[in-house]
Amino acid sequence: MKVLLTGANGYIGRRLKKVLIGLPELDLRIFVRNKKSVSQAILDKYEVIEGDTFSKEDLQKALEGVDVAYYLIHSLNKENYQDLDKLSAQNFIDIAELCKVKRVIYLGGLGVKNENTSHHLLSRLETGEILSSSKTVQTIWVRAGVIIGSGSASFEIIRNLVEKLPFMITPKWVDTYAQPIAVDDVIAYLVASLNLEYNQNLIVDIGSKKMQYKEMMLQTATALGLKRVLIPVPFMSINISSYWLNLFTPVPFTVAKALIEGLKSEVTIQNENGKEFFPNIHPIGYIEAVKKAVLEIEQNQVISRWSDADGTIWDKNHQKEINDAIFVDRKEADISSYDKKKVFGAIKSIGGDNGWFDYDFLWEVRGIIDKALGGVGLNRGRRDSCDLRLGECLDFWRVEDIQEGNRLLLFAQMKIPGSAWLEFKIEGDKLIQSAYFYPKGIWGRIYWYSLIPLHYFIFKNMISKILENSTKLGN
Q: Could you give the CA distance from residue 285 to residue 147 in angstroms, rounded to a whole number?
A: 12
Number of other CB atoms surrounding residue 210 within 10 Å: 14
Total of chain residues touching ligand NAP, rule CB under 6 A: 32
C-beta of residue 73 within 8 angstroms of C-beta of residue 128: no
* DSSP label of 201: -
Q: Provide φ and ψ at 124, rounded to 5°.
A: -65, -35
Cβ-proximal residues to 156 (8 Å cutoff; 6+ apart), any chain: 249, 250, 251, 305, 306
Tell me which residue has its CB nearest to ligand NAP: 10
Q: Exposed, middle or buried, 282 (CB in 10 Å: 0-12/13-18/19+)?
A: exposed
In the bound complex, what is the minimum distance in angstroms from residue 150's beta carbon to ligand NAP? 12
Q: Could you tell me the smallest distance in angstroms from the CB atom of residue 76 to ligand NAP?
A: 6
Which residue, 156, 166, 76, 87, is CA-closest to 118?
76
Shortest spacing between CB 145 and ligand NAP, in angstroms: 7
Binding to ligand NAP (CB under 6 A) within 82-121 occurs at 88, 107-109
Candidate list 3, 4, 5, 7; residue touching ligand NAP; CB under 6 A: 7
Q: Which residues are 267's β-sheet partners?
A: 178
Residue 309 binds ligand NAP (CB under 6 A): yes
The yes or no reply on residue 148 touching ligand NAP (CB under 6 A) is no
- Asked if 377 is part of the footprint of ligand NAP (rule: CB under 6 A), the reply reads no
Nearest-angstrom CA–CA distance, 314 and 296: 29
User: Taking CB under 6 A as the rule, does residue 152 contact ligand NAP?
Assistant: yes
CB of 8 to ligand NAP, least distance (A): 6
Q: Does 399 bind ligand NAP (CB under 6 A)?
A: no
Nearest CB to ligand NAP, comparing residues 278 and 448: 278
Choose the binding region for ligand NAP from 68-76, 169-177, 233-241, 343-351 (rule: CB under 6 A).
68-76
Is there binding between residue 147 and ligand NAP (CB under 6 A)? yes
Residue 390 identity = L
Which window, 52-60, 270-278, 419-427, 433-441, contacts ligand NAP (CB under 6 A)? 52-60
Q: Is 54 in the site for ligand NAP (CB under 6 A)?
A: yes
Which among 253, 263, 290 is positioned nearest to 111, based on CA atoms?
A: 263
Q: Which residues make up the interface to ligand NAP (CB under 6 A)?
A: 6-7, 9-13, 32-34, 52-54, 72-76, 88, 107-109, 124, 144, 147, 152-154, 306, 309, 311, 314
